Chains A and B, each alone.
Chain A
């Protein structure tokens, strides 16, 4: 292999390693952001949701008119 060809090969290897790190970093970051999100931590916990929805129902009971009659 000519020295010039070898240089191009090294550049490609470097690029692939960089790309690998870049993708891995992006993925880790996405997982981290999901883990940090209070949306996910709360909305995947049955215990937490039962507690909160009971509190909400006690404060604001759902209201429907008792005057509705017949089929809609």
Chain B
């Protein structure tokens, strides 16, 4: 997404001052600074550009107390799953962990959200700027906010931007935007500190709309047969993006950089690494995430000493659902079709141990 012109990023629209109730609040009440100063420098002294991060209780919380209280556990803000995952892979040495989390502050934790970065501005990760002249939007727009961060995978899949692959049927046929499935309640957190986004209790589920698909008397025979055995995505997704290896560091000027080695479109069915009451399936779709043993080598050697604690092929819910896919053509499209499954040969030697729980043994491929 092209960034806004610098002046557009901070241009206040008359609609904000005249029609938005938030426009009645004096600027300095939220942003501080000095509204009576005659120079820009003096006016911006002590300015808080995003007064909703990290603690929105004195701004949004003045009126929206309930949502702000929940928001502490909003994983878009807390990034708790990231911390948990890296924490599990990281060395137990205190000094090493400190260096890793400092590196994460520079590289990973800059991609968080806040009340303002959803309801007022574009996220900082795409250089920010008002979405609609500082007007507060109850529903964040999909194109300027949701996919501004969820671009490489979700946007490309959902809108059909991956080469020769169709967009998600919910979008192409129904024009559904993110909010159609991902409610405000889900986005604002539930008060529980989740360590995985797949544990979020009010996250959307296919059967929330497609109740018949999981019914014991489902109209479609294959639904009755595969229920609880394979995730919906195994049959109804097409190829999706997988990224390999990531290294972070700082260049000669001290500017942060990242390097990922390879990106490919692939479809792999593997063993469920994260079985739960809601996802008891044996087989799920897996996506390779951009992690590597040397991710933080620039900052500390062998930082991820417990790299094998988690698979690098992660449970995935690709956003490119189709009614008909290559897998739904016939029974033989999957049964015995070993190329669809994540086998030992698909995993690099250095990642075998990490993925031993998700690699499908040859004799476990459905015949």
Contacts and interface: CB of A to CB of B under 8 A. Distances in A.
Contact of A49 (B11, B33, B243): B11
B259 A67 contact: yes
Contacts of A56: 6
A65 B260 contact: no
Given A36-B36, A38-B37, A38-B38, A43 B10 contact: yes
A39 interface: yes
B35 A69 contact: no
Contact of A38 (B10, B26, B43, B251): B43
Contacts of A50: 7
B263 interface: yes
A70 B35 contact: no
Contact of B36 (A38, A44, A46): A38
Contacts of B261: 70
Interface residues of A, number: 30
Most central of A36, A37, A46 by chain B CB within 10 Å:
A37
Contacts of A44: 11-12, 14, 17
B243 A71 contact: yes
A70 to B, nearest CB: 3
Contacts of B249: 67
Interface string A31-58: 0011011111011101001101110110
A66 interface: yes
A68 B36 contact: no
A42 B243 contact: no
Most central of A33, A50, A70 by chain B CB within 10 Å:
A70
A2 interface: no
B11 A37 contact: no
Contacts of B10: 43, 49, 53
A8 B113 CA distance: 57
B251 A65 contact: yes
**Interface SS of chain B:** mixed
A64 interface: yes
Contacts, number: 93
A53 B3 CA distance: 14
A15 to B, nearest CB: 25
A46 B310 CA distance: 51
A51 to B, nearest CB: 9
A47 B26 CA distance: 23
A72 interface: yes
Contacts of B35: 33, 36-40
Most central of A38, A52, A54 by chain B CB within 10 Å:
A38
A33 B35 CA distance: 9
A39 to B, nearest CB: 4
A72 B149 CA distance: 10
Interface string B1-39: 000011100111010010000001011100101011110
A4 interface: no
Contact of B257 (A39, A43, A67): A67
B196 to A, nearest CB: 21
Given A53-B7, A65-B256, A65-B257, 4 more contacts: A33-B26, A36-B36, A69-B258, A70-B262
22 contacts: A36-B36, A38-B35, A39-B28, A39-B33, A40-B35, A44-B11, A44-B17, A46-B7, A56-B6, A63-B253, A63-B255, A67-B249, A68-B257, A69-B257, A70-B246, A70-B258, A70-B259, A70-B260, A70-B290, A71-B152, A71-B290, A72-B152
